[in-house]
Structures are given as C-alpha cells and as structure tokens.
Structure 1
Amino acid sequence: MKLGSLKEGGRDGTLIVVDRAVKKAVRATGVAPTLQKALDDWTTAEPKLRALAQQLADGKAAGAFDLDTKALAAPLPRAYQWADGSAYVVHVELVRKARGVEMPPSFWTDPLMYQGGSDSFIGPNDDIEAVDEAHGIDFEGEIGVIVDDVPMGVTPEAARRHIRLVTILNDVSLRNLIVTELAKGFGFFHGKPATAFAPVAVTPDELGDAWDGGKLNLPLISTLNGKEFGHPNAATDLTFDFGQLIAHAAKTRHLEAGTVVGSGTVANRDAGVGCSCIAERRVRETIDSGKPATPFMSFGDRIRIEMFDRAGQSIFGAIDQKVARYTP
C-alpha cells in the first residue's frame, strides 16, 4: 500500500491512497483526513486503507484521479518528531579522514543522531529555497521510516515491529553553515533547512524481499542536473539498521506515532557506486588529490532522487527539486 498527501485541507494535507505505479490516486478522507490521523489509530485505519487500495487497483475506487506529483506535499507534511541518524558510518569515517581527525571507536557501536526540524517538511517537487549559494547547498539521499507509538527502552528486535511506512528523502544541508555550528559544540540548526520527501510512503510489504524488517536492499539513485551522481545500495555497509536506530531514539523517551527516523546519507565504501551527497564526493576528491573539485549546488541546479524495484518500477516516485533563490 502506498500513501501520500495532497496540498489541500490545511497544513497536514489530505490523505490519499496511491496505486503501485504512482500514477493514480484516491482521497482517503472517509478513513482518515490526514496521514497523522491514520497513524494515531493505525489498527483501525490500516485495513480500511488497504481495502481502498484494492479498489483503486481494481479500477473500482470512486473519485480516483490521475496523480500530479506537483500537487503533493510530503507524505507527512509535518511531524511530531524527526530523528535523523548516521547509519552509514563509512560516510562519517571518510569525512573525518579528509579532515585528518581520528574517529572514536564508539561510532561503530553507538549511533549518531540529531533531532531535525519537523514543523514543515516539503513535497517532492518543491524548490530547495536558499538565501545564498555561499552557504554550501547540498542534497542528501536517505531512507526514512515512520513509526507508530514506540515505548521507551524498546529493543532493536521489537522496534522493527513498530515500522509502519518506509520512504526516501532529501535531507538538504548547508555545509558551510554546518562547519561553524558544529564548532560551537551544540549541534545543527541553520545548516539544516526543510527536508523533502518522496511522493509516497509505502507499507513494508510493498518492498517484498528487498526489505528484511530493518533495512532496504536496493540502490538509491541520485541524479544531479541530468547526470547520475551515485547509486549506492541502501543495505551495503549499513552499520545500524532501523531497529537499532529506533531503539537508540527511544532510549530515554517514548516515540509518538508519526515520528520519522532517517538513515543518514546512504553511502558505500566502494567509490565506484558514487555518492548520495556532494560533500562525500568532495571528501573522496580531497583524499585522492588533496583538494575538492565538485562544487556545491547553485541556483537553478536540479536534483532527482529515486529508487526502483527489481522489475524497474519506481517504488516511492521521484524527488525532483530545483534550487531557487529565496528573497526575504
């Protein structure tokens, strides 16, 4: 089952059920007005949403319409919590190597995680608004999951059973702001603008044997200005799966239904598969030749992030965004 949200009905959008090809949709307001409301009462809402999805697949859903992804918000236009991990420790290792900084051994056993801004996610075709190119505008291709209510102290094994939806996202970063923020020793803020999400989030069964309950075994493809930038596999070199990330997030707090947990930038040790962000390519260039060669994004640049199943069908639809100048 694939779910999305139209940019209508208020800040939380209008819940829709989307077909497997991400071409047709039907409003699900008879079940729940928003995805958050569905997640709040998932036990009741899920079977009704699945019945509607079957009607859509059979061509019998009343009010079905052709889907225009430009009309979509993020599946959750805003969330109670957005916790982003760094599950691909090879990515962190490369960054620190380029800076000549030794990586603590604990990074391999204790996940890194920060709490991002979740009051306003953006849709798959919304512009990446930026004030200044000098901020170092970068994309970050990631996997994300949406959970139901998760109890504090949950084990990784039990945490996997709380995953209700899976999606992909672009965790936009302003690299040159992040450097100065990290130097203060208090985390990100200005360096992390609004995160963009794919057109749909899907229930794990949609992923077939590519999903093992905690990780997704498929390449994530990033295309910058029409040229492939990278296709690392989301299961390769994954240090912490989503069970471990969710358990880490719930170590000292309960997670409310609708919490979004991110994987961090998908990265593989094999340089031949490319990268899911510009910063990693610049790091590899620095290690290889002493300095970076690839610039960060400029106004007018376009990034596309997508994942295909083994039959070649787009699973979540594409994140396809342009960098645009924002004038206050």
Structure 2
Amino acid sequence: MKLATLKDGTRDGRLIVVKRDNSAYALATHVALTLQGALDDWATKEPQLRALAEQLEAGAVQNRPLDVNALMAPLPRAYEWIDGSAYINHVLLVRKARGAEPPATLKTDPLVYQGGSGDLLAPTADIPLADEAWGLDFESEVCVILGDTPQGTKAAEAGRHIRLVMLANDVSLRNLIPDELAKGFGFFQSKPATAFSPFALTPDELGPAWKEGRLHLRLRSTLNGQLVGDTDAGPEMHFSFHDLIQHITKTRSYTAGTLLGSGTVSNADRARGISCLAERRMIETIEEGKPKTPFMKPGDTIEIEMLDAQGHNLFGRISQKVVKR
C-alpha cells in the first residue's frame, strides 16, 4: 500500500492512496482525513485503506491523475523526527573530516539526534539558504514512520511498530556543525528542515527487499543532473531500524507518527558513490590533501529516489532546488 498527502491549503493536507505505478490516486478522506489520523487508529484504518488501494488498482474507484508537485510530505508535520547514523562508513568519514575521533562505542551503541519536526518539506520544495558559508549539504536516507511504540521495546519486537517506509533528504549545514557540537549539546542551527519522498509504503509493499529492519535496494542521488550516488542501503546498515528502535525506547515511549531515519546511506566501496557531499570532500582530502568539491549553492538541484529490481520508482522522487533566502 502506497500513501501520500495532497495539498489542500491546510497544515496537514488530505490523505490519498496512490497506485503502484504512481500514475493516479484516490482520495482516502472517508477513511481518515490525514495520515496522522490514520496512524492514530491504525488497527481500524489500515484494513480500510488496503481495501481502497485494491479498488484503485482494479479501477473500481474514482481516481485522478497524480501530480507530485501537488503533494506535501507524507507527514507535513510530525510529533518527533529522530535521525540515526547507522552506516559506519559515513560516521568514520565525516568524523575524520572535522578532525574528531569516532566514539569508542561506534559499533555497539547507535548515534541519534532529534531534529525539527514542525515544518517538514514537500518532496519538490525549495531548500532555502541564507548564507553559502554555512556549507549546505544533502543527505540521502531511508526512514520509517512508527506507530505507538512503548518504552523498552526490544529489537526482536520492533518490526511490529513500523507502519510505513519512505526516503528523506536530511539537509545539513556542515560548517555550523563543529561549533555546535563543541558546546556538547548537539545539533540545532546546523539542521534545517528535512524533506521527504512523495510516497510512504507499508513494509510488505517492498517484498523481499525489506528484511530484518533493513531495505536492500539502491538509493540514487543525482546532483545537478549527474548521478553521484547509487548506494546499497541494505548490507552496510550496521544498526537496523529494529536496533535503532530498541535504542531510542530505552528510557521513553513514542507516539504514532514518530519519524525515524537511518542516517546517510554509505558504502565502503567508493564505486557506489556518495549520499552526501561531506563524504566526497573527505575522500578528496584523503587522496589529494584537501577538498575540492564545493557545498551546494543557490541554483543547485538534488534528486533522491529508489528503484526496485524491475526499475519501478517506489517512493517517488525528492527533487529540490537550492534558493537564496
């Protein structure tokens, strides 16, 4: 099942069900006005939404052509946005880039931060940038939407709390990060609004590619029309989403509609490319003594998408342009 949110002039939009080929949609507001409303009563609403999705595929319900530009983020605002850093290769590279040692618990204790969730960007929304000196970077990620998730959830039980899967562009302002972290109190100004893919999919829609809390497909990042990353999101995700859920629920519970990210998808094989510019700059530093790739500037574009084994675009495309604010 594939869900999305249609712009309607309100903060939270209207819930729609989308055909598997992304060509058309059916309004789902008779089931739940918004995606958050569906998540709040998932046990009741999910079967009704599935029935609607089956009718849509069969051509048995009124449908309309889909225009991705008419969509908001699947959750235009969320109760929480928590982002992990589950790919060890990424952690090692970006830490080295800013002269920081990796934590001693790198492989045993996940890194997470809590970002802003009150203003989540649509998949085609511009990325505003007030100062190029801040070092704007994209970060291509996989993320999940949780249902109500109790404190103390173990990894073995975590899968039952994952409602939907989607993609994210977790924008970073790289040159603001070192001073913020030096204060010992985490990211804040260096993490502006995050954008999300047009569509959110139930895990079963991903078939065998969704396995043990990891998505075993390639995540494509296209910068200014050039494919810069074709990274494999599965094998090198050291901490699965199940592991991340166990970590974040150690001391508290989470409500339906919580977003949880994987962190930047990263592979040790450099032929797979990058999912953020910070990695390319660090590789250049290692190989050439200094970085030469600039961070993003007004006029630059980034596209993020994921295809299945048959070439179908599963989540739709995040397609954003950097604009001067």
TM, length-normalised to structure 2: 0.98
Distance, in Å, in 2 between the alignment partners of 1:116 and 1:180 is: 17
Moved over 4 A (4+): none
Q: Please identify, of 296-305 and 86-95, the stretch whose mean Cα deviation from structure 2 is larger.
A: 86-95
Distance 1:45 1:9, change over 3 A: farther
Query: Are 2:97 and 2:278, in contact at CA under 8 Å, matched by a contact in 1?
Result: no
Distance, in Å, in 2 between the alignment partners of 1:250 and 1:9 is: 35
Residue 284 (structure 1) aligns with: 283
Residue 324 (structure 2) aligns with: 325
Residue 244 (structure 1) aligns with: 243
Residue 218 (structure 1) aligns with: 217
Residue 22 (structure 1) aligns with: 22
Question: Would you say 1:59 and 2:59 are equivalent positions?
Answer: yes
What SS does structure 1 have at the residue aligned with 2:91? Answer: helix
Residue 128 (structure 1) aligns with: 127
Letter in 1 for 2:288: S
Letter in 2 for 1:158: E
Distance, in Å, in 2 between the alignment partners of 1:43 and 1:95 is: 41
What SS does structure 2 have at the residue aligned with 1:107? Answer: coil
Query: Are 2:98 and 2:178, in contact at CA under 8 Å, matched by a contact in 1?
Result: no
Distance, in Å, in 2 between the alignment partners of 1:104 and 1:52 is: 48
Residue 260 (structure 2) aligns with: 261
Task: Give the CA deviation at 1:111.
Answer: 0.2
Distance, in Å, in 1 between the alignment partners of 2:55 and 2:101 is: 56
Task: Give the CA deviation at 1:246.
Answer: 1.1
What SS does structure 2 have at the residue aligned with 1:70? Answer: helix
Q: Please identify, of 1-10 and 137-146, the stretch whose mean Cα deviation from structure 2 is larger.
A: 1-10
Matches within 5 A, 1:31-42: 31-42=31-42
Task: Give the CA deviation at 1:178.
Answer: 1.4
1:189-245 CA distance string (max 9 Å, x none): 111111000000000011011001400001100000000111110012111000011
Task: Give the CA deviation at 1:101.
Answer: 3.6
What SS does structure 2 have at the residue aligned with 1:221? Answer: strand
Distance 1:97 1:177, change over 3 A: closer
1:300-328 CA distance string (max 9 Å, x none): 101000000000000000000000111xx
Question: Would you say 1:47 and 2:47 are equivalent positions?
Answer: yes
Task: Give the CA deviation at 1:99.
Answer: 4.2
Query: Are 2:223 and 2:302, in contact at CA under 8 Å, matched by a contact in 1?
Result: yes
Query: Are 2:144 and 2:260, in contact at CA under 8 Å, matched by a contact in 1?
Result: yes
Distance, in Å, in 1 between the alignment partners of 2:74 and 2:103 is: 36
Query: Are 2:84 and 2:112, in contact at CA under 8 Å, matched by a contact in 1?
Result: yes
Task: Give the CA deviation at 1:9.
Answer: 5.3
1:143-197 CA distance string (max 9 Å, x none): 0000100110110111111111000010011111112211211111111111000
What SS does structure 2 have at the residue aligned with 1:207? Answer: helix
TM, length-normalised to structure 1: 0.97
What SS does structure 1 have at the residue aligned with 2:78? Answer: coil
Q: Please identify, of 98-107 and 44-53, the stretch whose mean Cα deviation from structure 2 is larger.
A: 98-107
Distance, in Å, in 2 between the alignment partners of 1:315 and 1:96 is: 32
Letter in 1 for 2:262: S
Query: Are 2:71 and 2:123, in contact at CA under 8 Å, matched by a contact in 1?
Result: yes
Query: Are 2:145 and 2:165, in contact at CA under 8 Å, matched by a contact in 1?
Result: yes
Distance, in Å, in 1 between the alignment partners of 2:245 and 2:49 is: 25
Query: Are 1:98 and 1:287, in contact at CA under 8 Å, matched by a contact in 2?
Result: no
Residue 294 (structure 1) aligns with: 293
Q: Please identify, of 92-101 and 232-241, the stretch whose mean Cα deviation from structure 2 is larger.
A: 92-101
What SS does structure 1 have at the residue aligned with 2:116? Answer: coil
Letter in 1 for 2:94: V
Question: Would you say 1:5 and 2:15 are equivalent positions?
Answer: no
What SS does structure 1 have at the residue aligned with 2:3? Answer: strand
Query: Are 1:167 and 1:316, in contact at CA under 8 Å, matched by a contact in 2?
Result: yes
What SS does structure 2 have at the residue aligned with 1:22? Answer: coil
Residue 207 (structure 1) aligns with: 206
User: Between Structure 1 and Structure 2, how many residues are aligned?
Assistant: 325
Q: Percent identity?
A: 59
Distance, in Å, in 2 between the alignment partners of 1:252 and 1:304 is: 36
